[in-house]
């Protein structure tokens, strides 16, 4: 949804850059830069009809999954991504007491919280995702590609008229965000899909399938071996295959369980 050097989401939805959000060319995960938020006056927000009003493309109804790469630099409560701070809507935050990523999802009456303690230390990149499966009424947090913390019961998510934001003017995000995304899938977005997004990137180009046996990841010894189609291809030197960031740390995906390389994209 949000690219590394610009402010685009989807094909028809632009996020307004409030307060001149910096582009960090030192601390980033994919591409060449991340978005760096420094105060309550620096955030990305969307209030136009395509992404910020009720029923627009960044509203979830039923299933919902959202998240991305986050690097907090302040040991405080940080709102990372929000579509309303109360019910209805959804948000992701970082708590200071237990260094946790927290998912908040509201159905219009109740708001359920799902926390992953110890997952958000400062000055480290971690991939945080919140997933709501409306079929099973289950809310689950993921860190670095794997389900983390206890699941919670939640009966769905309702649309909100609040503006969508990366960062927040009340409890600001202090740090960097990269490859943030929102999608209206949950029941069909499997754990393996979340691992693939973490390891291979939102667009999947950090990984490469073997030409002869496409279900497997191509063998490699350097990143160049994985860059047949994209300069973002990465060699996982633990497995010596083009599995992107699957085995790396800070940033990395902790050897989460990837699907077959030629499995349908998330």
Of 158, 195, 150, 196, the closest CA to residue 63 belongs to 158
Of 100, 96, 104, the closest CA to residue 120 belongs to 100
CB proximity list for 226: less than 8 A, separation 6 or greater: 206, 207, 208, 218, 220, 233, 234, 235, 242, 244
The pLDDT tens digits for 191-203 are 999 999 999 999 9
Q: Do residues 221 and 239 touch, judged by C-beta distance below 8 A? A: no
Of 122, 70, 77, 89, the closest CA to residue 251 belongs to 70
What is the reported pLDDT for 157? Answer: 84
The pLDDT tens digits for 86-95 are 888 899 999 8
Count other Cβ atoms within 10 Å, centred on residue 227: 18
The most confident of 67-71, 95-99, 151-155, by mean pLDDT = 67-71
- Mean pLDDT, the chain, integer: 88
Q: Give CA–CA dist 166/79, Å, rounded.
A: 8
Give the pLDDT mean for 213-220: 98
Q: Do residues 186 and 134 touch, judged by C-beta distance below 8 A? A: yes
- Which is more confidently placed, 186 or 53? 186
Q: Which residues pair with 100 in a beta bridge?
A: 95
SS (H, E, C) 141-158: EEECCEEEEEEEECCCCC
What is the reported pLDDT for 198? Answer: 97
List domains and CATH numbers for the chain.
8-189 (2.60.120.200), 204-256 (no CATH)
């Amino acid at each position: 949804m949000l690219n590394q050097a610009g402010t685009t989401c989807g094909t028809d939805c632009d996020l307004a850059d409030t307060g001149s959000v910096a582009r960090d060319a030192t601390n980033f995960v994919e591409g060449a830069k991340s978005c760096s938020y420094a105060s309550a006056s620096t955030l990305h927000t969307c209030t136009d009809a395509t992404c910020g009003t009720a029923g627009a493309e960044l509203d979830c109804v039923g299933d919902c999954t959202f998240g991305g790469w986050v690097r907090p630099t302040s040991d405080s409560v940080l709102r990372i991504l929000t579509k309303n701070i109360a019910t209805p809507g959804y948000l992701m935050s970082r708590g200071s007491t237990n260094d946790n990523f927290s998912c908040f999802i509201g159905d219009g009456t109740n708001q359920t919280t799902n926390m992953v303690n110890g997952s958000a230390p400062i000055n480290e990149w971690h991939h945080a995702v919140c997933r709501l499966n409306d079929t099973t009424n289950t809310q689950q947090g993921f860190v670095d590609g794997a389900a983390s913390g206890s699941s919670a019961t939640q009966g769905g998510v309702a649309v909100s008229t609040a503006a969508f934001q990366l960062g927040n003017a009340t409890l600001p995000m202090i740090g960097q965000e990269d490859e943030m995304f929102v999608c209206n899938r949950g029941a069909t977005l499997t754990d393996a899909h979340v691992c693939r997004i973490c390891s291979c990137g939102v667009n999947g180009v950090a990984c490469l399938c073997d030409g002869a046996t496409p279900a497997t990841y191509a063998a490699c010894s350097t990143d160049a071996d994985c860059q047949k189609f994209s300069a973002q291809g990465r060699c996982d030197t633990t497995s010596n295959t083009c599995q992107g960031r699957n085995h790396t740390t800070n940033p990395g995906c902790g050897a989460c369980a990837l699907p077959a390389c030629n499995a349908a994209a998330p």
